[in-house]
Amino acid sequence: MEFTAKDIAGLVGGTIDGNPDVKVNRLARIEDGEPEALSFLANPKYYPFINSTRSSIVLVQSDFQAEQELSCTLIRVDDPYTAFANLLEIYDKMRKGKTGISPLASISKSAKIGSNAYVGEFVVISDNAVIGDEVKIFPQCYIGENVKIESGTTLYPGVIIYYDCTIGKDCTIHGGSVIGADGFGFAPQSDNNYKKVAQIGNVVIEDNVEIGANTTIDRATLGSTIIRKGVKLDNLIQVAHNVEIGENTVIAAQTGIAGSSKIGKNCMLGGQVAISGHISIADDVKIGGKAGIAHSVTKQGSILLGAPALEISKFRRVIAIFNNLDKLYYRIGDLEKTIKQLQAEKISDEKIG
């Protein structure tokens, strides 16, 4: 896609200083600029790069003053960072604006496909699946029987959605994610073997959810595993069967949530957090990276750190002690020597007496 400085200025409400007809077809950092690239300059730390950048167009603050003659065209805006972010959003929407159904896709005759949908090469859409308007399904995705995907949702390459699951509006699911695989349910037997417990529930993902690459969300044993609206999941997250994650909760990579746990709304979980099964986390809770949560958190707004996790104030006290353990060790050693010496002196005095 190609844009002129005039086009971009119109999109961001900027004024042009230079050639309005210069064209760009890519984005680049100002220090890595190249011809036909668009960059932005917001942080004064990067001001020197404006003199050497090869980018054709640079977004700058409206009151920016160059120290020398520049080869690039400037577009002056009130906030270059926000303007650039808006352009990225526009560009992303245009890039994802594909429509049409590839002849290499395999679509059941009983499936329903909405208007302006995109179905890429080697996509499989199974019996009775319902695909909403403007849904984008990139190549090599698998959509199981009776799956429902509502309007505006995007599935990137290699996403697998098992049977009976539902995906809400305006969701994004990144490549390699698996929605609705069996929960980890096995009943121990007297001969030390394990009998698989059939997982006959589903996964329900509400509106405006984003799921990172290679994240897995298991189907419920009975009922539903539920991801409420506005949830943002990073890459490589494991969500077990019958878990419920509340509205607008965000979770960083490599977190594992065991079965039947309930996480409240507006929570924030760092990377590699471990949540035990069958516990509840209150609303607005923040959990630091690598924390281990073994018991329910009932206090709204708690901040937890460590494994096992502690309230932040207690964790800080514990860490302060831990950081001085070596000094305490040597102090105890000195005290033991002193005690032994005093005991020896007392025994000697008693013998003399």
Asked if 175 and 130 sit in the same domain, the reply is yes
Counting the structural domains of the chain, the total is 3
Quick one: average pLDDT of 98-103? 94
If 0-12 CB within 10 Å is exposed, 13-18 middle and 19+ buried, where does residue 286 land?
A: middle
Whether residue 73 is found in the same domain as residue 203 = no
Q: Per the domain annotation, does 205 fall within a domain? A: yes
Who's near 5: CB < 8 A, 6+ residues apart? 16, 18, 19, 20, 21, 22, 24, 57, 73, 75
What are the residue numbers of the active site? 241
Q: Using omega within 30 degrees of 0 as the cis cutoff, is the peptide bond preceding 308 cis?
A: yes
Residue after which a domain boundary falls, among 95, 126, 143:
95
Residue 121 and residue 104 in contact, taking contact as beta carbons nearer than 8 Å: yes
Residues 136, 260, single domain; the answer is yes
For residue 310, count other CB atoms closer than 10 A to its CB: 17
Clarify whether residues 160 and 70 are in a common domain: no
Q: What angle do CA 208, 213, 217 make, to 5 degrees?
A: 70
Q: Locate tokens 């002196």: which residue? A: 345
In a domain, 170, yes or no: yes
Instruction: Compute the half-sphere exposure of residue 102: CA atoms within 13 Å on the CB side of its CA.
Output: 17
For the cut 80, the answer to whether the pLDDT of residue 353 exceeds it is no
166 lies in the same domain as 53: no
Q: How confident is the model over 275-292, as pLDDT tens digits? A: 999 999 999 999 999 999
| Half-sphere exposure for 180 (CA within 13 Å, toward CB) | 23
The pLDDT of residue 270: 98
Q: What CATH number is attached to the domain comprising 79?
A: 3.40.1390.10
- Residues 57-78 have pLDDT tens digits of 999 999 999 989 999 999 999 9
Residues 110, 177: one domain?
yes
> Same domain, yes or no, for 244 and 108?
yes
Question: What span, in angstroms and rounded, lies between the C-alpha atoms of 204 and 200?
Answer: 13
A 10 A CB-CB count for 23 gives 16
144 and 200 both lie in a single domain: yes
| Residues 48 and 158 occupy one common structural domain | no
Q: Which of 75, 95, 115 is the last residue of a domain?
A: 95
**Whether residue 35 has a cis bond before it, omega within 30° of 0:** no
Question: Domain holding 109: CATH number?
Answer: 2.160.10.10
Q: How far, CA to CA in Å, does 99 sit from each of 102, 214, 247? A: 9, 25, 31
Q: How confident is the model at residue 219 (pLDDT cuts 50, 70, 90)?
A: very high
**Residue at 301 is within a domain:** yes
Residues 78 and 123 in one domain: no
Parent domain of 197: 100-313
- Mind listing the pLDDT tens digit for each residue in 233-262? 999 999 999 999 999 999 999 999 999 999
- Residue 194 scores a pLDDT above 80: yes
Helix (H, G, I), strand (E, B) or coil at 311: strand
Which of 65, 95, 125 terminates a domain? The answer is 95
In 3-state terms, what secondary structure has residue 270?
coil
Nearest to 270, CA basis, from 290, 243, 284: 290
Residue 318 lies in a domain: no
* Co-location of 195 and 112 in the same domain: yes
Let me know whether 142 and 281 are in one domain: yes
**pTM of the entire predicted model:** 0.82
